[in-house]
Amino acid sequence: MTKDFCLPDLGEGVHEAEILAIPVSKGQAVQEGDLILEVETDKAAVEIPSPITGTIKEIHVRPGDIAEVGTVLISFTTATQTDHSAYQPTGGTESPPSPDQQPPKKKEVVTNRRPVPASPSTRKRAREQGVDLYLVTPTAANGVVSADDVQKFAALSSQDEPIAKHGKATHLQKARSAALPDFSQFGPIERKEFRSIRRATAKRMAQSWAQIPHVNCQDVADITMLEDFRRRHKEEIKTAGGRLTMTVFALKAVATALKKLPQFNASLDLDKQEIIIKKYFNIGVAIDTDHGLMVPVIRDVDRKSIKELSVELHHAIEKARSRKLSREELIGGSFTITNAGAIGGNQFSAIINHPEIAILGLGQGRMQAAVQTDADGNHTIVPRLLMPIVLCFDHRVADGADAIRFMQVIINCLQDPDAFFINMT
């Protein structure tokens, strides 16, 4: 009996995956649970175990291929149902039918592909426009594909062309672009594959930039006192297995601001014309790695101490850089922080991590001349450690005044750590 194994639905709007490795070969016997594939989505690298016991009959993909959900990856040869207890029917004691009573054998497909959540009207539009709903990325936070999603996909697809199967993708499409000149005529060049995390990041950023009206609010936080606090306690945190960085303090400050202005802890559901306010505080932290940008999510930031966050964030960074993050560690975020200060970056505007509605960018704290005013109104110029911060937000959900208030909460938290930690909730 032949059974086909298809790329299963990996959830969270994931429609495709890149084949990283195939640790089995044609003719090899495998047991249920044995590792047969390693794939990578825009969320994480995933190990896929064999769903059955049998022999590898055919491998339909190669490392580097990009497969859609539902694509046949591997075909197995297995024992018949009467010979293989794993496929015996359950419940009941009737004898199996005689050979002349048995229906014709069908080629079985092993897959977890579930129906795409969409309304009847959306399905109708998809049929009319020839759109495969499995290829459409939902913009709603609940993962439901809308008619507008289908329309946008159809508009983009009208400008697309197929991609070859091996080395690129199977049944996928890429947007046409203006023809490039032959750069080699001007000097030496090198071509690198545009794939894996880099390709997934590009897709998500383009989607976010196209769908969200980005606005940014800029300011500066005086972190002189906070840096003094950090230096006094960094060894204690290091002993506990963590690292006390500005990002750790920013996590707590953002959680505080999100509680005071919950419209920034939200997603926009256009289909239902609703703003979804999240009552949890799961904050993603953008991590620069050798293989691309990773955003592990630190959960329940509001409930954890500075020490706990220091340890957890440090471990998340290490796992991100060694590509050990699980898919569960990369999903469920409600807000994102990106800190360019560690590598010397100054003020910059980040792209929102859709379907969130805001992202906070931190720059490097630098000693600068600042004007201070005493109780009598006298001004003095003093050296202070100033850190630029930029809030990029979705103007459909929040206004500029909201953003300024949000930023002030964060600045107040960072500028006076004693007051912040005493009043922290």
> For the segment 62-95, what is each residue's pLDDT rounded down to a tens digit?
888 888 888 899 999 987 544 433 333 334 434 4
Share of the chain above pLDDT 90, in %: 46
| Residue 264 binned pLDDT confidence (cut-offs 50, 70, 90) | very high
In a domain, 194, yes or no: no
Q: pLDDT at position 28, please?
A: 92
In the predicted structure, residue 20 carries a pLDDT above the cut 90: no
Same structural domain, 106 and 129: no
* Mean pLDDT across 354-368: 94
Q: pLDDT at position 178, please?
A: 61
What is the three-class DSSP state of 333?
Answer: coil
**Lowest-confidence range among 133-137, 292-296, 382-386?**
133-137
CATH number of the structural domain spanning residue 402: 3.30.559.10
Domain boundary among 110, 127, 143: 110
Question: What are the phi and psi torsion angles at 313 (to 5°)?
Answer: -65, -40
By the 8 A CB rule, do 392 and 351 touch? yes
Q: pLDDT at position 142, please?
A: 64
| Buried residues in 124-140 as b, exposed as e (16+ CB within 10 A) | ebbeeeebebbbbbbbb
Closest among 275, 276, 283 to 255, alpha carbons compared: 283
Query: Who has greater pLDDT, 100 or 417?
Result: 417
AA identity, residue 230 = R
AA identity, residue 321 = R
Residue 417, token pair as written in the block? 């750590």
In a domain, 204, yes or no: no
Write out the residue range of the structural domain in which residue 162 sits: 115-168
Same structural domain, 267 and 339: yes
Same structural domain, 318 and 391: yes
Same structural domain, 106 and 130: no
Which residues are part of the catalytic machinery? 395
CATH number of the structural domain spanning residue 142: 4.10.320.10
AA identity, residue 333 = G
Q: pLDDT at position 392, please?
A: 97
In a domain, 180, yes or no: no
Q: pLDDT at position 234, please?
A: 94
Same structural domain, 98 and 122: no
Same structural domain, 257 and 378: yes
In a domain, 197, yes or no: no
Domain boundary among 74, 89, 110: 110
Whole-number Å distance between alpha carbons of 356 and 352: 7
Q: How distant, in Å, are the alpha carbons of 160, 174, 180 from that of 177? A: 9, 9, 8
Question: What are the phi and psi torsion angles at 372 (to 5°)?
Answer: -115, 145
| Residue 159 binned pLDDT confidence (cut-offs 50, 70, 90) | very low
Angle 95-97-98 (CA atoms, 0-180°, nearest 5)? 120
Q: pLDDT at position 177, please?
A: 53
**Lowest-confidence range among 8-17, 304-313, 338-347?**
8-17
Q: pLDDT at position 75, please?
A: 93
Whole-number Å distance between alpha carbons of 354 and 213: 12
Same structural domain, 314 and 222: yes
Closest among 63, 99, 77 to 29, alpha carbons compared: 77
Q: pLDDT at position 202, please?
A: 81
Q: pLDDT at position 156, please?
A: 67
pLDDT in tens, 191-220: 887 776 777 778 788 888 888 999 999 999
Whole-number Å distance between alpha carbons of 53 and 31: 4
Same structural domain, 358 and 272: yes
Pairing relationship of beta strands 283-289 and 173-175 according to DSSP bridges:
unpaired
How many C-beta atoms lie closer than 10 Å to residue 183's C-beta? Answer: 10
Query: Who has greater pLDDT, 106 or 303?
Result: 303
By the 8 A CB rule, do 20 and 45 touch? yes
In a domain, 230, yes or no: yes
Question: How many domains are there within the chain?
Answer: 3
Q: pLDDT at position 265, please?
A: 97
Same structural domain, 26 and 67: yes
Q: pLDDT at position 168, please?
A: 40
By the 8 A CB rule, do 295 and 353 touch? yes
In a domain, 179, yes or no: no
CA atoms within 13 A on the CB side of 94: 6
Sheet containing 35-40, strands listed edge to edge, beginning at the edge strand earlier in sequence? 45-49, 35-40, 16-21, 66-68
Closest among 125, 104, 106 to 116, alpha carbons compared: 125
* Mean pLDDT across 184-193: 87
Whole-number Å distance between alpha carbons of 414 and 253: 7
Name, in order, each residue with C-beta under 8 angstroms of 263's C-beta and a sequence gap of 6 or more: 275, 277, 357, 397, 398, 402
CATH number of the structural domain spanning residue 52: 2.40.50.100
The mean pLDDT value of the chain amounts to 82
In the predicted structure, residue 311 carries a pLDDT above the cut 50: yes
Same structural domain, 106 and 126: no
Whole-number Å distance between alpha carbons of 165 and 89: 38
In a domain, 124, yes or no: yes
Same structural domain, 321 and 410: yes
Share of the chain above pLDDT 70, in %: 83
Same structural domain, 140 and 67: no
* Mean pLDDT across 358-369: 94
* Mean pLDDT across 272-289: 95
Q: pLDDT at position 110, please?
A: 45
Whole-number Å distance between alpha carbons of 156 and 335: 28
In the predicted structure, residue 121 carries a pLDDT above the cut 70: yes
| Buried residues in 356-371 as b, exposed as e (16+ CB within 10 A) | bbbbbbbbbbeeeeee
Task: Tell me the whole-structure pTM to 2 decimals.
Answer: 0.65
In the predicted structure, residue 259 carries a pLDDT above the cut 60: yes
Q: Answer positive or negative: Cα dihedral of 327, 157, 67, 111.
A: positive
In a domain, 277, yes or no: yes
In the predicted structure, residue 386 carries a pLDDT above the cut 60: yes
**Lowest-confidence range among 15-24, 261-270, 386-395, 416-425?**
416-425
CA atoms within 13 A on the CB side of 233: 18
* Mean pLDDT across 180-194: 87
Q: pLDDT at position 342, please?
A: 78
| Residue 141 binned pLDDT confidence (cut-offs 50, 70, 90) | low
Whole-number Å distance between alpha carbons of 272 and 141: 11
DSSP conformation letters of 366-382: EEEEEEEE-TTS-EEEE
